[in-house]
Structure 1
Amino acid sequence: MKAIVLAVAGLFTLTTQLQAQEKKTGAIQFITNVDPIAMAEANGFKMNPEMQSRMQTIKMPYELLFNATNASYMKVEEVEDSNSEGGNRGGFRMGGFGAGGNRDYYYDLATQKLTAVFDLRDTTYFMDTQLGKAEAPMAMNNQPAAAAPVVEYIKSDETKKVIGFNCQKVTVKTTSKRKIQDEEKEIITENVVWYTKDLGFNFSPNPAIWTEGAVLAIEGKGSSTVATSIEYRKVSAKDVVLPKKGNVITADDYQAKMEAMMKNRGGRQGNGVRNVVIN
């Protein structure tokens, strides 16, 4: 009888361990919605009726793949998922090469290292960045770069569930000064962040908007990014580690390249730069 009890206890322990291991690898699906008119107004720009008539809400799916040591976050298309094993999951990861309009992010969960991967004039670059740190403001039209914004984090006791996880609320309030149509304006934006510590790693779909834990939703004026589902499954190591080919670039060198491109194009942002607004 004692042997049976020990055997059952051992089986229960093994099952629990296997379940714990299984929940360390999987995929989280996100949807980003962007209203260009509302976003422009939030940033101090007023579109005329003609411009507004040409604008429409943008909906973009993204995917976070993770295992016990690494993770990657990138845009997907609504076709067959190349990461699935023997099934169509309805999403194909676009990756960081020629997809346009976004960056891919690779996380080393053990060291907390975060690397942005993007294309610039047919060259793939790797740029180290940090959670919770925004890029320096860029100089526009030969004007000096704007001062760094003032960021305030407002914690709340409010909680809610996102894809089954208990999430805590933080409001990220950013105050910045910008020159818009020769007029100095103070722009205040607020993003509500919902994060959980239950996943066991740090992450944010917008690395600049982060306080702690894994962010599963960011809600701002004119834009939102929200996790819609999670699936625990096997994830190939090649899908969550940096690509083998790419040129390392520092944040300062990137800013210099961008400013040079904008000067050459009369202040317009150069084509081929992979950025995405997800806040």
Structure 2
Amino acid sequence: MKHLSKTLLSAALVAFTGMTAFAQDKNTGVIDYEVNAKMPQRGGTEGDGEEQVITFNQHFYFTGGKGKLDTERPNFGGGNFGGQRPGGGNGGPGGNGPRGGGGRFGGMRNFGNAYVDLTGKKYLQIFSKPEDTTKVYYAEEAYTPAKDPKLSDKTKKIAGLTCKKATVTVRNEEYTVWYTQDLPFSYSPINGLLPDGNGVVLSAEGSRRSFNAIKVDFKPVTTDISIPANAEKVTEDQMRDMRREAMQKFRERQNGN
């Protein structure tokens, strides 16, 4: 009986140790975000009062110092954003990326897939020209620290993690930000929101859009989070020019030119 008790105790300790080790491995997993964004009704323009709010999900996978943001494409009432096929990878003429401001969507550029170098603290913007989606380009965008953030002593739990509160302005839009420093890397859905330079933004609410983490799941990541092997590196200016050209062509097609 005594031998049986020791065996059961040993088994319980092994199980507990294994569970604890797994629970403490915060280097790999996925953050599920719910995103809300305001956009003009079809045929309208931003600011004319005719707006709709769309809701969709984003999944940020992280492991081995890399990250990848997958976006579930929202339904825009009978069409895909920018006329691109679902899962096309470049998110319409605007391409991907964490930038804020501008665009029909109040600055939402990160549809499709976006990649992050967590070790180097860089976003990797991916873009494919609509006329040749087999060719992929990428540009590096360094993390930008928040400008004059207003820090707060308030804290709260989001998805099981302790978060600090701050108010941050990015491109003339003010956000209420909740960020955690319980994770071993830094990340924000929009560049420029991190108040302390280190941390992970789990909630950001502005006047036109919001990101809220609904779950943080620490688990092995099987999703491929590396940029395409054939991706060609370009400068941010070159990326901007390609996006501008693609948008112009898109508008011309929309106008029947």
Specify if TM > 0.5.
yes
The 1:222/1:14 distance shift into structure 2, 3 A limit, reads: closer
User: Equivalent residue of 2:201, what SS?
Assistant: strand
Deviations 1:6-64 (A, max 9, x none): 9579735454324333x432221111111236xxxxxxx9734xxx34x3112221110
Unaligned 5+ runs, structure 1 = 38-44, 79-93, 135-150, 177-187, 263-267, 273-279
User: Equivalent residue of 2:149, what SS?
Assistant: strand
| More RCO (CA 8 Å, sep 6+) | 1
Match of 1:110 in 2: 119
User: Equivalent residue of 1:235, what SS?
Assistant: coil
Cα distance in 2 for partners of 1:258, 1:237 equals: 27
CA drift at 1:108: 2.9
Asked if the contact 1:96/1:117 (under 8 Å) is kept, the reply is no
TM-score normalised by length of structure 1: 0.62
Cα distance in 1 for partners of 2:241, 2:152 equals: 39
Which range is displaced more, 154-163 or 228-237?
228-237
Match of 2:29 in 1: 26
CA drift at 1:230: 2.3
Match of 1:58 in 2: 54
The 1:98/1:113 distance shift into structure 2, 3 A limit, reads: closer
Identity of counterpart residues, as a percentage? 27
How many residue pairs match? The answer is 210
Given candidates 125, 131, 147, the residue that maps to 2:143 is: 131
Match of 2:193 in 1: 209
Asked if the contact 1:75/1:102 (under 8 Å) is kept, the reply is no
User: Equivalent residue of 2:239, what SS?
Assistant: helix
Unaligned 5+ runs, structure 2 = 75-85, 97-112, 252-257
Cα distance in 2 for partners of 1:159, 1:207 equals: 22
Match of 2:184 in 1: 200
Please list, as runs of the form range in 1=range in 2, the aligned pairs for 1:10-21 lying within 5 A after superposition. Answer: 11=14, 12-21=16-25
Cα distance in 1 for partners of 2:141, 2:168 equals: 19
Asked if the contact 1:131/1:209 (under 8 Å) is kept, the reply is no
TM-score normalised by length of structure 2: 0.67
AA at the equivalent of 2:205: E
* Residues 1:97 and 2:89 are matched in the alignment: yes
Cα distance in 2 for partners of 1:159, 1:270 equals: 47
Cα distance in 1 for partners of 2:38, 2:73 equals: 20
Cα distance in 2 for partners of 1:251, 1:173 equals: 22
Asked if the contact 1:74/1:95 (under 8 Å) is kept, the reply is no
CA drift at 1:215: 0.6
* Residues 1:233 and 2:219 are matched in the alignment: yes
Match of 1:163 in 2: 159
CA drift at 1:235: 1.0
Please list, as runs of the form range in 1=range in 2, the aligned pairs for 1:170-185 lying within 5 A after superposition. Answer: 170-174=166-170
AA at the equivalent of 1:156: S
The 1:15/1:255 distance shift into structure 2, 3 A limit, reads: closer
